Amino acid sequence: MARTRAKPATARAPAPPYVPLRGHPLNEEEFRGQVGSTTWVPRLEYAWDAGVAISRFLDGLREGKIYGVRCRRCGRTVTPPRAFCELDFKPMDEWIELRDTGTINTFSICYVTWDMKPLRVPQIPAVIEIDGTSPRVGFLHLVGGVRGRTVTEIRRQVRVGLPVRAVWKPPAKREGAITDILHFEPVRKRANR
Amino acid sequence: MSDRVAVVGVGAVPPRPLSVDRSYRELGFESATRAYGDAGVTHQDIESFISVCEDFHEGTSITDEYTPDQLGAVLQPVHTIAGDGLQGVAAAVMLIRTGIADLVAVEAHCKTSNILTHEQVLAMALDPTYERALRVTPHFVAGMEMRRYLHETGSSEDAVAMVVVKNRRHALGNPVAAYGGILSPDDVLASAAVCEPLRELEISPNSDGAVVLVLASEEAARRTPKPVWIRGVGWASGTPWLAGRSWGQASYAGVAAEMAYRMAGITQPDREIRFAEIDDTYAYKELQHLEAAQLAPRADVTRMVMEGETRRGGRLPVNPSGGSLGMGYCFDATALYRTAEAVRQIRGEAGRAQVAQATTGLVVSWRGIPTQSGGAMVLSAD
């Protein structure tokens, strides 16, 4: 194929003058009025049965305890608990009360809310490997007790491998939910694992 | 390579109106454990997994992502059929016949008791511009279908009531069925109108449940203890327009059954099919489906049902398990319950519900209101 040689810049004809954008931004009312559409606001409500494993886990949270389960075949201890080992496909063998400390596996510093509104003080979701569980089985929660709001400030305090500890709601306010733990905060002194 | 595919494992939990003691994961784990044990295989032998589920019924988007754990399918090929249960079975047949897998598990479960706003979920299935805006309960679709069916065929309301009587009675012989009972046609006809002509007792009660089937290629099936062969499978969808569909006839079931019969080489269904497990979500549906599957001529349906030909001891037993009217309606899992019950019949494992010489059976499924989608499958002992 023949190669086209770029003409030197000096030989190019002058660019056409800018033209204003056509149209104008539609506001909500104009949009509704001018474009055919139908609206429907669903009211969908569910109440999911937590089942054997998660129910006991939630009861534990109410008491300020984190429960895990152990499979003797693969030797893994995992939390949140499940009734069966998803790798060995057999019922779990025993319940174990875990400590409420752990290590950050991964995290992100989020400057938007779950429904995509900007946040000045970011949320820090993290996967936390609870002490006493097997490696790479985590617990999704938030990191709190961190000063500052910029990436630089937060990265100085939060890192992969950081030891953290659960900060609980006061007992009277717990309701048997994952939010009975407010967040996990950095600990200075690392507990032995 | 053989083209034959068999159901080699069946596992289910008894359908019940509530299942507060266990999560859908725990119900699914029990069903899968039973199915793999039934087939004499382990989860590691299964090469591909299919989940039949609908997000709106679960209250979770991408709900199929939540099924691998309880099937033993972590880091295995898994895909979803958001449709009728027999479409899921058909997908498994295709995986096997294309040589992609020799052993495939098909899963469906139902936690209908966890849906607090059923009518809202159902309403979401109607066209938002033309149909939903009228704000009528979607059960009206069944009422209108039933009226047009009775009008076109001359079938009697007594025959519809008799379907309920028969299936509830059949359920008494099925130890896992929750709705066994002795009713008279008058009891049914005296029950309240929901969407007239449809009566309360003619609607199967919603139930929670979970079913897992294991399907195998011929070679793999020969190594299992109790294969039941899938001789033919079919499925079809009608138009979604409520205003322009065939209200009187279950056309989708007719097309699906023809497809299954053609594959099975069945030319005289009313002679070759020895029993049927047929969708009876609403009692009139059983009659509609019988006719669509060429098991009963239109003029004869009422007589057949009234004279007891579709009872367990009759010429063509229909829903000897009790059907959905006797066992409960499990939404996406219904077709797999019908299939599981048909497999038990062909194996001769149905106990007091056993049909004599149940060598070849037909399963007919329906995706439920407001759809015109369904499937058919011919199962056989050899």
What's the complex ipTM? Answer: 0.90
Looking at the predicted structure, is the pLDDT value of residue A192 above 50?
Answer: no
Q: Which of A35, A39, A40 to mutate to test the interface with B (most CBs of B within 10 A)?
A: A40
pLDDT at A50 over 60: yes
Q: Please, which pLDDT band fits residue A130 given cuts at 50, 70 and 90?
A: very high
Domains defined for chain B, CATH in brackets: 5-117+209-221 (3.40.47.10), 125-205+228-380 (3.40.47.10)
In sequence order, the 6+-apart residues with CB closer than 8 A to the CB of B250 are B285, B288, B289, B291, B292, B366, B372, B374
Rounded distance, CA A176 to CA B337, Å?
A: 35
Of residues A116 and B251, the one with the higher pLDDT is B251
Mean pLDDT value across residues B127-142:
84
The pLDDT confidence band at residue A6, using thresholds 50, 70 and 90, is low
CA distance A63 to chain B (A): 21
Cis amide linkage into residue B138, ω under 30° from 0: no
Highest mean pLDDT out of A7-11, A31-35, B108-112:
B108-112
Tokens of A37: 């559409």
**CB proximity under 8 Å: B 127-146 to A:** 128-129, 132-133
8 Å CB contact of A86 and B68: yes
Q: How confident is the model at residue A14 (pLDDT cuts 50, 70, 90)?
A: confident
Predicted local distance difference test score (pLDDT) of residue B1: 53
In whole angstroms, what is the distance from residue A137 CA to residue A146 CA? 24
Q: Please check the confidence at residue A79 and state whether its pLDDT lies above 80.
A: yes
Picking from A40, A43, A49, the nearest residue to B132 by CB comes out as A40
Distance from CA of B40 to the nearest CA of A (A): 15
Size of interface A-B (CB pairs under 8 A): 76
Mean pLDDT computed over A19-39: 71
Average pLDDT over residues B268-272: 97
Q: Closest-CA residue in chain A for B129?
A: A38
B111 touches chain A (CB under 8 A): yes
* A35 has a pLDDT exceeding 90: no
Specify the pLDDT at position A16. Answer: 83
pLDDT in tens, A169-178: 999 999 999 9
Q: Say whether B242 sits in a helix, a strand or coil.
A: coil
Residue of chain A with shortest Cα separation from B18? A49
Note the pLDDT of residue A4: 55
Residues B4-39 pLDDT 10s: 999 999 999 999 999 999 999 999 999 999 999 999
State the pLDDT at residue A3: 56
Q: How far is B317 from chain A (nearest CA, A)?
A: 37
CA-nearest of B190, B206, B207, B203 to B141 is: B203
Q: Is B72 on the interface with A (CB under 8 A)?
A: yes
Share of chain B above pLDDT 70, in %: 100
Which of A48, A82, A84 has the CB atom closest to B59's CB atom? A48
Q: Does B114 touch chain A (CB under 8 A)?
A: yes
| Contact predicate B85/B52, CB 8 Å | yes
Cβ density class B197-208: b for 16+ within 10 Å, e for less = bbbebbbbbbbb
Which of the residues A40, A49, A88 would you substitute to probe the B interface, choosing the one with the greatest number of B C-beta atoms within 10 Å? A49
pLDDT tens sequence across B155-192: 999 999 999 999 999 999 999 999 999 999 999 999 99
State yes or no: pLDDT of B291 exceeds 90.
Answer: yes
Q: In A, which residues are within 8 Å of B124 by CB distance?
A: 40, 42, 44
What is d(CA A57, CA A72) in angstroms, rounded to the nearest whole number? 20
Q: Which residue has the tokens 């009734």?
A: A83
Q: Which of B26, B117, B207 to mutate to test the interface with A (most CBs of A within 10 A)?
A: B26
**Mean pLDDT (chain B, rounded):** 96
**Contact, A107 vs A126, CB < 8 A?**
yes
B200-244 tens-digit pLDDT: 999 999 999 999 999 999 999 999 999 999 999 999 999 888 888
Partners of B66 on chain A (C-beta within 8 Å) are none
Strands B193-195 and B275-278, sheet pairing: unpaired
B32-90: per-residue pLDDT in tens? 999 999 999 999 999 999 999 999 999 999 988 999 999 999 999 999 999 999 999 99
H helices within B225-273, ranges in order?
A: 251-264, 269-272
Task: Give which of B90, B107, B115, B105 is closest to B52, Cα–Cα.
Answer: B107
Cβ <8 Å between A49 and B23: yes
Q: Which residues contact B228 (CB under 8 A, 6 or more apart)?
A: B6, B7, B8, B342, B343, B346, B347, B379, B380, B381
Residues B336/B27, Cβ–Cβ less than 8 Å: no
Q: How far is B123 from chain A (nearest CA, A)?
A: 9
Whether the CB-CB separation of B159 and B280 falls below 8 Å is answered with: no
Give residue A8's pLDDT.
55
B23–A contact, CB cutoff 8 A: yes
Which positions 234-293 of B are in contact with A (Cβ < 8 Å)? Answer: none
Chain A residue nearest residue B128, CA to CA: A38
**pTM listed for this prediction:** 0.91
